[in-house]
Amino acid sequence: MGFTGRAADLALLDSRLRLVEEGRGSSRGAAVVVTGRRRVGKSRLVQEFCDRSGLPYVIFQATRGRSPAAERADFTTAIAQSSLPAGGLVAGTRPQGWNHALRTLVAALPSEAPSIAVIDEVPWIVEQDAEFEGALQTVWDRELSARPVMLVLVGSDLSVMEALTTYGRPFFGRAPKMTVRPLHLGDVATMTGLSATDAVDALLLTGGFPEIVQSWPQGASPAQFLRESVNNPLSPLLAAGELTVLGEFPGTTLTRTVLETIGSDERTFSAIAAHAGGGEPLAAGTLVPIIRTLAAKGVVAVDTPLSLKADTRNKRYRIGDAYLRCWLALLEDAIPLIERGRPDIALARIERGLPSWRGRAVEPLIRESVLRLLPEVGWPETGAVGGWWNRQNKPELDLVGADRSPVAGQVHFVGSIKWYDNKPFTARDYDKLAEDATAVPGALPGTPLVAVSRTGIVDGLPLAAHWGPDDLLRAWQ
């Protein structure tokens, strides 16, 4: 299947490679750390980059749970079978440690011509062999960086990859970090051939995961795609969620219970504790570390109200991975029905829950898209777009634009999102927005009001700006 999208990611990798090819770096070699959520397409991106480069390269992918000795043997086998000119010379080598294994890579690299070396799933190596990080730093400093090689370190565990480049760790200061994100709205629209309105739905359903987006029949409506996916128990839309969850949280664990609780739209700490604990609420000492772990992995996002007043205790939790949010809320419970041969019942349940789920799930996408649009529509100084709520969620404002976050110096606008199939933003919606906006700390009587609507707004409303699906798509083009 052809490779589409990811132009910006490929350009970033190309710019790093040019340092090697043109000899413009502080050393002959250059390294980069590539991270991102599991199944987001990192390995496919790096493979495409290597293929397009036209250079000799080696890609080694670690295996979780392998013994260190077996992993190092596989590493040298990958080198021997690669397109590196001297790769065959190391065939049969059995390194006694990662210092030896990485020096084997040095021996296989061309000394004058540029090349690429990729180590994929680095966290699994770190997990099973404490020697790796120190060995990587030693061999890079003494030998690898003296060769014209681009070293690419890839991993899905965001917390481990973040730690790899932090102060005090052996490889600190030797490689910039690049985060591969899901496909954005513009890529999804191009790949599916959908209108802006349907492309937003496609992004919410697939989360921008390449393997799911690529399974979308060109031009098929979201309803058609759902129907076809639900009728196939092996469809990527259904299968990727379980693979993602099992990959990071194998077995039945309390962490997974908390994850599923947040996925069911329990947003406050007390509600999560009560629901995940069953008959007895989880103690804060148990729940806090779990949420921190989920946030460090990029699975859970933590939001605070955006205004001139700090309110760090008034947090709201949500699934940060758009596809996983869909899978946990709509698809996971449908899978047993589908496996029992009742996709019709499963589809009916999904369709009933879809509109209300979509109304909240679309909010992070809209905030990010609006922030991208603001420089061209009169708010170039706006540096953050979030929401605001009080402890009772009365009121709850969907959009707050400000100069900075988490605590603003100035509120630039307040707004509302109405993402209905057949109902535009009305005068009643405007009046409610105007009334609620007065509760936002920093919002003044003249603070501009804005709206985002799936189906437009009625005429004559004194909004400072309003946006719809076409505008959101334009933000990514």
What is the predicted pLDDT for the residue at 470? 98
What is the predicted pLDDT for the residue at 158? 76
What is the predicted pLDDT for the residue at 90? 87
Output the CATH code of domain 7-179.
3.40.50.300
The total of other beta-carbon atoms located within 10 Å of residue 375's CB is: 11
- For the CA atoms of 172, 178, 182, 186, the dihedral, rounded to the nearest 10 degrees, stands at 160
What is the predicted pLDDT for the residue at 441? 97
Asked whether residue 298 carries a pLDDT value surpassing 60, the answer given is: yes
Render pLDDT for 357-380 as a digit per residue (tens, 0 to 9). 999 999 999 999 999 999 999 999
Return d(Cα 332, Cα 158) in angstroms, integer: 24
Asked whether residue 279 carries a pLDDT value surpassing 70, the answer given is: yes
The share of the chain scoring above pLDDT 90, in percent, equals 82
- Residues 6 or more apart whose CB falls under 8 angstroms from that of 442 comprise 307, 308, 309, 402, 408, 410, 411
Render pLDDT for 329-338 as a digit per residue (tens, 0 to 9). 999 999 999 9
What is the predicted pLDDT for the residue at 365? 98
Choose which CATH entry (3.40.1350, 3.30.450, 3.10.20, 2.30.29) describes domain 363-475.
3.40.1350
Return d(Cα 407, Cα 58) in angstroms, integer: 47
H-type alpha helices, 109-253: 122-128, 132-142, 158-164, 185-192, 196-206, 210-213, 222-230, 236-248
Mean of per-residue pLDDT scores for the chain: 93
Q: Which own/partner pairs from 189-192 qualify as long-range (CB within 8 Å, at least 24 positions apart)?
A: 189/473, 190/4, 190/5, 191/4, 191/5, 191/216, 192/216, 192/218, 192/219, 192/220
How do the domains of the chain map onto residue ranges?
Answer: 7-179, 185-361, 363-475
Render pLDDT for 173-213 as a digit per residue (tens, 0 to 9). 899 999 999 999 999 999 999 999 999 999 999 999 999 99
- Min mean pLDDT across 294-303, 408-417, 466-475 is at 294-303
The total of other beta-carbon atoms located within 10 Å of residue 133's CB is: 18
Name the band, by pLDDT with cuts 50, 70 and 90, for residue 130. Answer: confident
Render pLDDT for 249-276 as a digit per residue (tens, 0 to 9). 765 589 989 999 999 999 999 999 999 9
Return d(Cα 24, Cα 14) in angstroms, integer: 14
Averaged over 135-151, what is the pLDDT?
96
Phi, psi angle pair for 229, to nearest 5° = -70, -40
Q: Which own/partner pairs from 243-247 qualify as long-range (CB within 8 Å, at least 24 positions apart)?
A: 243/39, 244/37, 244/38, 244/39, 244/321, 244/323, 244/324, 244/327, 245/324, 247/38, 247/39, 247/156
- Which element (helix H / strand E) includes 33? strand 30-35
Return d(Cα 75, Cα 72) in angstroms, integer: 5
Asked whether residue 1 carries a pLDDT value surpassing 60, the answer given is: no
What is the predicted pLDDT for the residue at 262? 96
Residue 376's Cβ-count burial label (10 Å; 0-12, 13-18, 19+) is exposed
